[in-house]
Amino acid sequence: MIDLVLAGGTVVTEEASLRADVAIDGERIVAIGVDLPTDGAEVVDVSGALLMPGFIDGHTHMDMPFGGTMTADDWDTGTAAALAGGTTTIVDFSLQDVEGTLAEAVETWQGKADGKTHIDFGLHVAITNLTDEVKQEIPSLPELGVSTIKIFMAYKGTPLFTADEDLFEALQIAREAGVLVLVHAENGDVIAKLQEEALARGDTAPRFHGLTRPELVEAEATNRAIRLAELADSPLLVVHVSCAAALDEIRRAHARGSAIYAETCPQYFAFSDADLAREGFEGAKYVCSPPLRDPSNRDSLWRGLQAGDLHIWGSDHCSFNYAGQKELGRDDFTAIPNGLPGAEERASALWTHGVKTGRVSEQLFVAVLAANQARIHGLAGRKGSLAPGADADVVVWDPDATIEVTQANRHGNVDYTPYEGMTLTGAPASVYIRGALAYRDGEVLAPAGSGRFLERSFRRPAPAAAVR
Amino acid sequence: MIDLVLAGGTVVTEEASLRADVAIDGERIVAIGVDLPTDGAEVVDVSGALLMPGFIDGHTHMDMPFGGTMTADDWDTGTAAALAGGTTTIVDFSLQDVEGTLAEAVETWQGKADGKTHIDFGLHVAITNLTDEVKQEIPSLPELGVSTIKIFMAYKGTPLFTADEDLFEALQIAREAGVLVLVHAENGDVIAKLQEEALARGDTAPRFHGLTRPELVEAEATNRAIRLAELADSPLLVVHVSCAAALDEIRRAHARGSAIYAETCPQYFAFSDADLAREGFEGAKYVCSPPLRDPSNRDSLWRGLQAGDLHIWGSDHCSFNYAGQKELGRDDFTAIPNGLPGAEERASALWTHGVKTGRVSEQLFVAVLAANQARIHGLAGRKGSLAPGADADVVVWDPDATIEVTQANRHGNVDYTPYEGMTLTGAPASVYIRGALAYRDGEVLAPAGSGRFLERSFRRPAPAAAVR
Amino acid sequence: MIDLVLAGGTVVTEEASLRADVAIDGERIVAIGVDLPTDGAEVVDVSGALLMPGFIDGHTHMDMPFGGTMTADDWDTGTAAALAGGTTTIVDFSLQDVEGTLAEAVETWQGKADGKTHIDFGLHVAITNLTDEVKQEIPSLPELGVSTIKIFMAYKGTPLFTADEDLFEALQIAREAGVLVLVHAENGDVIAKLQEEALARGDTAPRFHGLTRPELVEAEATNRAIRLAELADSPLLVVHVSCAAALDEIRRAHARGSAIYAETCPQYFAFSDADLAREGFEGAKYVCSPPLRDPSNRDSLWRGLQAGDLHIWGSDHCSFNYAGQKELGRDDFTAIPNGLPGAEERASALWTHGVKTGRVSEQLFVAVLAANQARIHGLAGRKGSLAPGADADVVVWDPDATIEVTQANRHGNVDYTPYEGMTLTGAPASVYIRGALAYRDGEVLAPAGSGRFLERSFRRPAPAAAVR
Amino acid sequence: MIDLVLAGGTVVTEEASLRADVAIDGERIVAIGVDLPTDGAEVVDVSGALLMPGFIDGHTHMDMPFGGTMTADDWDTGTAAALAGGTTTIVDFSLQDVEGTLAEAVETWQGKADGKTHIDFGLHVAITNLTDEVKQEIPSLPELGVSTIKIFMAYKGTPLFTADEDLFEALQIAREAGVLVLVHAENGDVIAKLQEEALARGDTAPRFHGLTRPELVEAEATNRAIRLAELADSPLLVVHVSCAAALDEIRRAHARGSAIYAETCPQYFAFSDADLAREGFEGAKYVCSPPLRDPSNRDSLWRGLQAGDLHIWGSDHCSFNYAGQKELGRDDFTAIPNGLPGAEERASALWTHGVKTGRVSEQLFVAVLAANQARIHGLAGRKGSLAPGADADVVVWDPDATIEVTQANRHGNVDYTPYEGMTLTGAPASVYIRGALAYRDGEVLAPAGSGRFLERSFRRPAPAAAVR
């Protein structure tokens, strides 16, 4: 039985771009074929468009407390923004309460999403306090549908900061439990000291956010996390790789055959340390961690994507308003909430800077936005692929659409956009989630609450195997 | 319209392994789907089997003269052997006659294949004499359906040997002509000298074949070929990479972002320098170039495959009988014709040593045997992929089949097999070529002459892009 | 005026080995020359011998508490042993009392040496508690004649362990103060966890000392220390480098132009992890940190010395008796006091394994035992060189002397020697300290208390300059 | 007996800079000491000056034919220039006549020097035709006092060009004969092709000299030469390393432990590709091979010197007049004679750009100008060191002298200087050769013909040992 045929488009998979139709029965794709019989199914003509698997964003922070404030986007506005950018699944970070259990974190975050999310979602747990009880709890995460935990090596002085001791033990436990560890790799000790020194000198402006988190701070922690993973014989995902020096450490690990995954993010390609130094307090709009870097890093990062050393392209969407939130750090850059909105622009930014420039093939585009995301985040088979049997999450991509980005045309709930005034090329014309039209022509159609929680399970790759 | 449905199997693509049927109309695949409607088509139950794209072998030498003798296999026996191993397409090497044109080489080789080949085929041209006329002829190769030329840096003293001057110029011309250069990378000067010295010492046994072609000879030439390609701003395919030191040079090139492709071969994983040193003259059966290496190289080569630094797995099938051919070098290892049969064992050897041991995923298996072969050798879209619109070349793979290899059960025309006595796991149960059953249960069904010549065209990847 | 001429020998300097006499006036060398006029001075015929600068050992632990016990050697027996091996100067580690000042540590250690030391000495301070007071005290160390401080990244759970925060701050303060930081680079967090796990499994034998401190633990910490030094723009000395993986990190730093010094020790060349696994509790005699390694590391370490990536050869002499001390860990390897005696064997071991085998030139021998030691440890000009104006510390080296090492013929106060039963080649025939005969033919002649405290000052090298 | 005492200066050796006198008896240094007794010897007060060993320049081309013309400097003017720069010994290149023997080349060059040279000298032989006779002749070179031969991988189309075959065989023969091979590492095949293409495009200006010899051409050949040396188990000296990419290959070789020496030259630090692009035909004054590079290479080259990956600093003095010689290539850059004068500026350029800027210590200055030159070029013990027993070749160096360079104040015979208008700091105040005053205050005092031929012998270092 076929309900719906998307006909006349070009199907883009990791393997190839080919003229084919996509047949959908209920929530699933049932066939990919040439001139598929329609048998009374609804036929949507998608001529001229590219059909891609719904994009997965393994790195978002919705409705999350940070430094005494809450992200500007909750699950309603945040997932609407993601959907408008072609994303049909996110994996968001539930934060362990320092006194709480991991299950409670998951439950809390499910509650935040409940009735609000427009798209499907999974949940990571960020460990903030690795007590003996928590150690015993980790192996039960897969039963909750959680296949990933996150450790922060940065943010010394907050509960997020984790010492090597706990990172190493978490890696050991995770290996046994079939759980993948994600790591925010910056040396928190050094940053804390450099921040203290900067403030003591009176260097309080946003650009000192970047100057107190130099590239070597990230490179060091990246190597350390990798080494601890190797010692624990555990896979690892290094998130938001921002600079060549950190990537070099990942490349070394791959040459050794280690199962290290890596994510990079659009902001490191669209913006730079020059934005952090914008006049007045404008730089605060560009404060995220790791910080925006000198553009000389980009060539290396592009090569990292091309060579498969960087596997996924996540947004690290973590939005704060300029007014009232970013402004908390007017006199002290360390008080600026860290994070940028970007869930909506994620795919278009890669199309603009990567595909249009010839740096990224359509296949690589799909790999880092969908297929590799699914593999790493435990969703393969269901999400991330236009294949028979998979959920019918489909992006109908208009490769020539151009968007003049301005805050007013964004779907999220932030009072600014770092992309203000930029032109992006390539955007979803429409998006289907589990067979239903969820977005078309700028309008979010999937109702709040229509997204489902996804139980994920991580499968360790063949020894030392690359993602594919 | 659907003629044939292969139903109930697991479709293996680069992306994933999934339960799905394959529908075929005439010579083409028209759909991949779950429980596809059959509408009176023939339905073949392939439950329990893996369905894979017909394998492509971009590296064979059929009916080729070498050192005064001809390969044991012609196109009849050679392609029968390949087919029995799941290969539905080969790209074979036509050799330019020193006095002849490239078009003549292609014509000669087409004549050799004509009426004999059981499978589809393309042709490379090996340049043996880069005259001004030949330089002008190269750009016309694509019109002949030839997208690849080969240069030998080894075999000094034969017409195959090519000086840097010609290699560099060929790379320049090829870049302009949209032709890909393949290179046999060993330093012919050093080998010639080491051989001369060995013979002068009376070291005539087969094992001196290996000792006079040490790893550094290959590593040096590999780096040189890569540098010349970078200087010519041209892509390059390094064939039969045999050792860690050569792979290191390729890995360096990838870190620089260069468009270097690389092939390795089963013999470097199944055999070693110890086989070259077998008692009596047995080692002659294992003489190929680059030579079999110390097994300590294998870990690195596996990592090269896993990390995408080695893209394809070719057979370098080049068969000579022991009696009368290999024996030509009884008193002088340099007179032993170089080459091993292996077209039939190629895929099974990778399944046995790679997939069964957990080193190679099913996706990587398909990538290096089919999908990457198609991309590199200019066949993407038509061959190498189980996708709607592609030729219906399908391997019905039995992952648990075991073969006790012995000369008597081989399909080629050689009086020995280097795999004698070995057990291989995984083999084709049946094979389809363009929709027709071509092989089943050990029997070659496709008639001699049923294979077609394939016009190929190479498309340069996005700048500095990896294969995918 | 000349008091003493050592005539007829071969003077060995970093530059060359040359036939020349050494003229001494009082405590100083005044001339090196051919057939120097003697003018009534005492003339000692040293024909056949090599004249070298008195060796400097920048890494000893005399009379030091560790894990509830004291080293077997105090300053009397320890410096006698060092002198018998040709060492005329040590730089020993004074340990800050957790509640105490650095000045008190220096004073305490001067007290320990007072009246006992047979050779000249300087003192490092090992920081155990970097309080605000201590931070303010560091810049005053040079006034005390102390140019070096040490930080331990290992030994979690003891006061020695130092977090990155303090290491980084110490590097910053040291840079400003003209003080060099020494680092014991092993990841204490990981070791603590691995030890805990081993003990929980009942793995209590000495060999688990090595297995719970794997090479990557050292490599990781080495890279981290280097990165922190680079971030602090400070030089750094990595002591007791034991394995190839750690050396690789140092080599990378040198390629980046960083001012990183490195020491290795004879035990990593003379013994191996096999010794740790000796039958019964014998392995305890070989417990030191970093632990003895697989011999496959040695080739790389030799190359590190040859290429100037490893600059000095220190003993890390830290002796404990087998009876009553090593035995404390009979049921728990973590209770075995860490350390080996080796001050006496240091130079002979290098001559035996390095010079006699052709791996180390006489020039390199002198460099790593004397000249580079003097540069790095702030003694250049006075010590470490047979040059006019320098202290007349001279080793009259017999290159062919052979020693059958046994506990009974050692000059220290330990109840065993790890070199038991080994034959060493090359040894001092006699030794002069500041012009006075201090050792001859196995007999220590310099009285206890005759050694002097040396005020040292570190001079940062030219930007990114190598030691020489 | 002492004839002469240079008193009151600072003696600079590889080890240290120290206040000491130098005593000379006849042609030799007999003592270095503090307040040496003078006993009626002549005493020269050199207060404020640095005393260094006479500099050695292992890379000059005097009275040499090139492209149909002769170098502007013969042995009279060329060695006068060298002496004025502090050089007391050169090793010059005698060129084998294509039809001639090596002995004849040496004899011819001795004849050119005879009666003309102001300083001591040795001779290399450049092999231009490796016939069987020449192969048999190589082992007799040491008897002629020649310890070095040179092979050119560049200059295709001239007799200088040498194929890998001959380079490899020369390395094998040299290893056996105790001869060191020097290599000019640029890929001649690629250059010839790029030149041909440039000229065909009408690109005839001097800057195309650089553009047709890109960095990779040097890097490739450097790696190839190193690999051939490793295969032949032979040491090797790579001369005139000009760029980071070539240095990287040398650094890799050192990490592997190979005995590879390397030279760089002042022109790669003082000038750049911008000079090649000077207006009009001025760029011709800066044509040398390898060509002047982009200044971004310099940081890496400085680190190479500091880390001991580059061992010597040679001039590659090869002078041609602008008028009548460089002008030969007015319409065709390939006809411009390759080479720059620089023997006179060599040491001052290093002092200016290296020592004054803090990049190079006085010790490293002496190492690369004298001590390492002596070791590599077979003169250790006699030349290159201020040590008792060595020849009394002494540079009295004024560290603060400043020279405004202009053609008129040069001591050579060239009608221009590439250093025109530049200010150099540091210069010889006076120079002694074998105890005799040879130069003072701008005036060459050593008569033409006073220099002597030096018999040299190369001693292979300890296996895999660095120079020191």
Cβ contacts of D219 on chain B, cutoff 8 Å: 227
- Which residues does D410 contact at the CB level (< 8 Å), separation at least 6? D81, D341, D344, D417
Q: Sheet harboring B436-440: ordered strands across?
A: B17-19, B10-12, B50-53, B394-404, B423-433, B436-440, B443-444
Q: Which chains touch A (3 or more CB pairs under 8 A)?
A: B, C
Matching residue, tokens 């909105």 = A341
- What is the average pLDDT value for chain D, to the nearest integer? 96
For C445, the token pair is 């002649």
Cβ-Cβ contacts under 8 Å, D256 against chain C: 303
- Segment D30-65, tens digit of pLDDT: 999 998 888 889 999 999 999 999 999 999 999 999
User: B450 — alpha (psi -120 to 50), left (phi > 0) or beta?
Assistant: alpha
- Contact of A73 with A414, CB cutoff 8 Å: yes
Residue A460 per-residue DSSP state: P
pLDDT over threshold 60, residue D465: no
Q: Tell me how far apart the alpha carbons of residues D192 and D112 are, in angstroms, rounded to a whole number.
A: 32
Nearest beta carbon to residue A31 from set B18, B31, B364: B31
Tens of pLDDT, residues D112-148: 999 999 999 999 999 999 999 999 999 999 999 999 9
Confidence of residue A40 (pLDDT cuts 50, 70, 90): confident
DSSP labels, B236-300: EEE----SHHHHHHHHHHHHTT--EEEEE-THHHH--HHHHT-TTTGGGGG--SSPP--GGGHHH
DSSP-based three-state secondary structure for B59: strand
Q: Smallest Cα–Cα separation from B168: which of B130, B128, B217, B126?
A: B130
Kindly list the residues from chain D whose CB atom is less than 8 angstroms away from the CB atom of residue C380: 16
Residue of B nearest to A460 (CA): B358
Whether D468 has a pLDDT exceeding 50, the answer reads: no
Chain A residue numbers touching B257 (CB-CB < 8 A): 299, 302-303, 306-307
Residues of A in contact with B367 (CB under 8 A): 468
Query: How is residue C188 written in tokens?
Result: 């204490």
pLDDT band at A66 (very low <50, low <70, confident <90, very high): confident
Contact status, residue B51 vs residue B18, Cβ threshold 8 Å: no
Listing from the earlier edge strand, what are the strands of the sheet with A42-45? A42-45, A4-7, A21-25, A28-33, B28-33, B21-25, B4-7, B42-45
With an 8 Å Cβ cutoff, are C20 and D388 in contact? Answer: yes
Burial class (CB in 10 A: 0-12, 13-18, 19+), C3: middle
Write down the ipTM of this complex: 0.94
- CB neighbours (10 Å) of residue B330? 15
Instruction: Answer whether D215's CB lies under 8 Å from D194's CB.
Output: no
Exposure of B435 in the CB half-sphere (CA atoms within 13 A): 19
Amino acid identity for residue C462 in this structure: A
Q: Domain coordinates of chain B in residue numbers?
A: 54-382
As a whole-number percent, the residues of chain A with pLDDT over 70 amount to: 98
CA–CA separation, D33 and D46 (whole Å): 14
Chain A, nearest residue to C192 by Cα? A165
Q: What mean pLDDT do residues A413-433 have?
A: 98
| Residue of chain A whose alpha carbon sits nearest to that of B368 | A468
Mean pLDDT, residues D153-161: 92
Q: Look at residue D464 and tell me whether its pLDDT is greater than 60.
A: no
Inter-residue contact D424 to D345 (CB < 8 Å): yes
Query: Residues in chain D, how many?
Result: 468
Query: Environment class of residue C130 by beta-carbon count within 10 Å: exposed (0-12), middle (13-18) or buried (19+)?
Result: buried
Residues paired with residue D441 on neighbouring β-strands, in sequence order: none
Query: Do residues B153 and B186 lie in contact, with contact meaning Cβ atoms separated by under 8 Å?
Result: yes
Please write down the long-range contacts of B195-199, taking CB distance under 8 Å and 24 or more positions apart: B195/B334, B198/B333, B199/B332, B199/B334
Chain D contacts of C36, Cβ < 8 Å?
31
Per-residue confidence band for B159, with pLDDT thresholds at 50, 70 and 90: confident
Report chain C's C-alpha Rg in angstroms: 21
Residues of chain A with Cβ-Cβ distance to C169 below 8 Å are 193
Query: How many CB atoms sit inside 10 A of residue A332's CB?
Result: 14
Question: Cβ C230–A216 below 8 Å, yes or no?
Answer: yes
Cβ within 8 Å, pair B15-A14: yes
According to DSSP, the residues that pair with D5 across neighbouring strands are: D23, D43
pLDDT in tens, D81-101: 999 999 999 999 999 999 999
In a mutagenesis test of the B interface, which of A10, A14, A15, A391 is the best target, namely the one with the most B β-carbons within 10 Å? Answer: A15
Reported as a pLDDT band with limits 50, 70 and 90, residue B461 is: low
Answer yes or no: is pLDDT of B468 > 80: no
CATH class of the region C54-382: alpha beta
pLDDT exceeds 60 at position D462: no
Contacts of B23 in chain A (CB under 8 A): 33
Over residues D98-111, the pLDDT tens digits come to 999 999 999 999 99
Chain B residues lying within 8 Å of D192, measured CB to CB = 165
Please give the pLDDT value at position D461: 66
The β-bridge relationship of strands A21-25 and A28-33 is antiparallel
If you search the block for the tokens 């006479």, which residue do you land on?
Answer: D54
- Terminal-to-terminal C-alpha distance of chain D: 32
pLDDT 10s digits, B128-142: 999 999 999 999 999
Report cis status (omega within 30 of 0) of the bond before C428: no
The per-residue pLDDT for A462 is 53
* Residue among C14, C23, C257 whose CB faces D306 most closely: C257
- What integer is the mean pLDDT of B281-292? 98
Q: Name the closest residue on chain D to residue B196, using Cα atoms.
A: D169
Q: Which is it for strands D55-60 and D87-95: parallel, antiparallel or unpaired? A: parallel
Angstroms from D286 CA to nearest CA on chain C: 30
Say if residue A208's pLDDT is above 80. Answer: yes
Check residue A227 and give its pLDDT: 98
Residue of A nearest to B355 (CA): A462
The SS3 call for residue D14 is coil
The string of pLDDT tens digits covering residues D389-426 is: 999 999 999 999 999 999 999 999 999 999 999 999 99
pLDDT of residue C468: 41
- Binding-site residues on chain B for chain D (CB distance < 8 A): 156, 163-165, 168-169, 172, 187, 189-190, 192-193, 214, 216-217, 219-220, 223-224, 227-228, 230-231
Question: For residues C244 and D174, what is the distance between their CA atoms, to the nearest angstrom?
Answer: 33
Q: Which of A167, A189, A256 should we substitute to test contact with C (largest number of C Cβ atoms within 10 Å)? A: A189
Best of D193, D233, D260 to mutate (most B CBs within 10 Å, chain B): D193
pLDDT tens per residue, range A327-344: 999 999 999 999 999 999
Of D207, D269, D304, nearest to D422 by C-alpha is: D269
Does pLDDT of A459 surpass 90?
no
**Alpha carbons C106 and C455: distance in angstroms, whole number:** 12
| Cross-chain residue pair D361–C15, CB shorter than 8 Å | no
The pLDDT-based confidence of B37 (bands split at 50, 70, 90) is confident
In angstroms, the separation between the Cα of residue A143 and the nearest Cα of chain C is 26
Q: For residue D363, what is the nearest residue in chain C, using CA coordinates? A: C468
Chain D hits for C14, CB-CB cut-off 8 Å, are: 14-15, 468
Q: What is the pLDDT of residue C222?
A: 98
What number is the average pLDDT over the span B215-231?
A: 98
Residues 6+ apart with CB under 8 A from D430: D396, D437, D439, D440, D441
Could you list the pLDDT tens digit for every one of the 468 residues in chain C? Answer: 799 999 999 999 999 999 999 999 999 999 999 988 888 899 999 999 999 999 999 999 999 998 889 999 999 999 999 999 999 999 999 999 999 999 999 999 999 999 999 999 999 999 999 999 999 999 999 999 999 999 999 999 988 899 999 999 999 999 999 999 999 999 999 999 999 999 999 999 999 999 999 999 999 999 999 999 999 999 999 999 999 999 999 999 999 999 999 999 999 999 999 999 999 999 999 999 999 999 999 999 999 999 999 999 999 999 999 999 999 999 999 999 999 999 999 999 999 999 999 999 999 999 999 999 999 999 999 999 999 999 999 999 999 999 999 999 999 999 999 999 999 999 999 999 999 999 999 999 999 999 999 999 998 765 444 444
Rounded mean pLDDT of chain A?
Answer: 95
Query: Looking at CA atoms only, how far is residue A56 from chain B in angstroms?
Result: 16
Q: Do C104 and C98 touch, CB atoms closer than 8 A?
A: no
Strands A443-444 and A436-440: antiparallel
pLDDT digits (tens, 9 = 90+) for A195-207: 999 999 999 999 9
pLDDT at B180 over 60: yes
Q: Do B364 and A23 touch (CB under 8 A)?
A: no
